Amino acid sequence: MTKDDFKSNLNDAVDSVIKLTSQLCHNSFSSNYRYVVRPNSEGVDPHLDLDEIFFHSQLLALSDKCISNQEVVDLLWTNGRAPLWINMSVLESRRAWTTIELLTSRRLRAGDDMNKVVDISHPGSVTARAY
């Protein structure tokens, strides 16, 4: 998977979470998206490699900041790898923007090791997992 493929998959997942969320609430959603990205845990575990430890530190540094679509792609696409899974939910909706929270695995995988699976079992949330 290339960085452009990852960006396209991420945008498709965002479209899915917006579609699902709009079915469950009456808010209107701005197509001007901003993102809050958080790691699934604040700890550094021994199973993480050096790229994953650095990635984790970047996630922690940005965990309370809103970033753009391109910044999200640049952050999540790390040395040809992306998070093993990302949980998405709409955090906030305003006229000027829609804030999407991305709760992400600290583990990274190459495109050949990923499969896209969408889980809509939790209302308002879409999970794209890679195995």
pLDDT tens digits along 30-61: 999 999 999 988 888 888 889 889 999 999 99
Q: What does the mean pLDDT of the chain come to?
A: 86
**Does the model's pTM come out above 0.85?**
no
81 token code pair: 């790898």
100: exposed, middle or buried (Cβ count in 10 Å: 0-12, 13-18, 19+): buried
Q: Are residues 67 and 35 in contact, defined by beta-carbon separation less than 8 angstroms? A: yes
- What residues does each domain of the chain span? 3-111
Q: Poorest-confidence range of 20-29, 30-39, 82-91, 96-105?
A: 20-29
